[in-house]
Each structure stands twice: as C-alpha cells, then as structure tokens.
Amino acid sequence: MASNEIQAQVFPLYAVPMLQCQIADASRLNAELASLFLRLESQGDKHRDPIRRDTQYGIFESHFFLHQRPERPIRELFGFLRASLQTFIQGINQLSDEDMANINLDMHSWFHVTRKGGFQSLHNHPNASWSAIYCVDPGDADAPESGAVRFHDPRTGCDMYRDPSIERMQTPYRIGPWQLNHKPGQMIAFPSYLLHEVFPYTGERPRIVVALNSWCRWKNVPAP
C-alpha cells in the first residue's frame, strides 16, 4: 500500500510589520538636531506641548508640529522620514505610483529630551495608522535596559500556555515582547496600535529622539 502524502501550508496571518532604516552618516545631522532641540528645551514651556501625560516622567515633550519648523536640519530629517514612510506604505500595501500620488500623508511630530531617571510607561498612539521614532542621540548609559523601547505582543492570550512547541517559534510567529535599543540615525516605524514603553534612562547625557504619528487620506477617492 502506498503511503499518503501530507500537503500542508503555513500562513503568517497576524504578523506585525515593523520598518527599520538608517541614515548612513547621520553624525553631522544629529549634532545639528541635538543642538537645536536642547536650545528649544532650554526655553521652557514656550516649546513644550501643553498636555502633561501621566505616562511620562523626566521627559521634555515638544509641540506636535515639529515637521512644520523651517530649520534646515529639520527639513532634512523629515525629507528622510517622509520618504521612508511612503516607500514602506507603498510596498506593504502594493500600491502603484499612481495610487501614491493620490494619497496625502499627514502627521503630528515632536521631539523628546529624556534626562536621567526619565521613562515612559505603557501606551499606544490613537488616531493614527503608523508611528515612528528616530534616534538623534541614545545617550551614554551602558546598561542594556536603559532607555530601551519594549513592544508588547498585541495578540491577547497568545502566551497563556507555554511549552516547548511554541517557546522557540521564530519571526513572524514568535510570541511575547520585543525590545529595541536605539542607535543614532536609526528610524523604526510600527503600527500605531502597538503597545510599547520606554524603560528608565540611567545615563548622564540627554537621550534625544524624534517621534511622529501619521495617517493617510485619498486626494480623490478611487472608484469602487
């Protein structure tokens, strides 16, 4: 008797897409950005967002229209961020060049200066589709947990039972949190619904990042 062949296919149904990209030589740009942001921070509430968030401690958070400022390093940075996001969105949705030309990408954006002891507890970013973080300066702390960003698995209950059959599943099937240590010139983009937190920063030099929330609208809604 001939043995039956098993035909099977594995589907990555609920993978979470995350983009990571890097400015190849960001030292000059980051130095200009750091100088600008520390100067704006030194002016106190003039450039601080007026809403104080109970998820934050030891963080200066700027107004949410950073991308509209005229300074050259900001224009340069957001040229990179916007182009990276648009390429990511086009690829992950398999949109044509014509489709992309018919889409407005809008955003809120701000910078954070985090001093020693600063952190941000668990949160997500409502009313947006994609969020991103760009690292200007990760600071000078040596501890791997210092200022690290931890993303939490959005699949409720996926870790309710652990055994050897699931503990070592690889991406995109892995379960549990994922942790990132920022590098200068690095941008990460992720779905805005993804819960994440920033661990307490233990360094002496300020930790500086730029963040944004983005959403898209059709300029002319395509015919069904």
Is the backbone peptide bond immediately before 144 cis, with ω within 30 degrees of 0? Answer: no
Q: Which residue has the higher pLDDT, 199 or 224?
A: 199
Looking at the predicted structure, is the pLDDT value of residue 208 above 70? yes
Q: What is the dihedral of CA 81, 69, 109, 199, to 10 degrees?
A: 90
Q: What are the phi and psi torsion angles at 167 (to 5°)? A: -65, -25
pLDDT value for 182: 95
pLDDT digits (tens, 9 = 90+) for 125-162: 999 999 999 999 999 988 999 999 999 999 988 889 98
pLDDT score of 2: 57
Per-residue pLDDT averaged across 41-70, rounded?
A: 95
Closest CA to 205 of 29, 23, 38, 22: 38
Confirm if 176 and 153 have CB atoms less than 8 A apart.
Answer: yes
Most confident of 51-55, 114-118, 176-180: 114-118
**pLDDT over 90 at 114, yes or no:** yes
| CB-CB contact of 196 with 124 (8 Å) | yes
Q: What is the C-alpha separation between 224 and 219, in angstroms, rounded?
A: 15
In this prediction, residue 101 carries a pLDDT of 96
Residue 179 pLDDT: 94
Q: What is the pLDDT of residue 141?
A: 83
What are the structural domains of the chain?
19-217 (2.60.120.620)
> Mean pLDDT, the chain, as a whole number?
95
Tell me: pLDDT of 214 over 60.
yes
- Partnered with residue 211 across adjacent β-strands are 110, 133
Task: Supply 192's token pair.
Answer: 């805005």
Asked if pLDDT for residue 65 goes beyond 80, the answer is yes
Q: With a cut of 80, say whether residue 45 has pLDDT above it.
A: yes
What pLDDT sits at residue 181? Answer: 95
Provide the whole-model pTM: 0.93
Query: According to the model, what pLDDT value does residue 142 have?
Result: 84
Average of per-residue pLDDT across 53-77: 97
Residue 201 pLDDT: 97
Share of the chain above pLDDT 90, in %: 87
Distance CA 183, CA 137 (A): 8
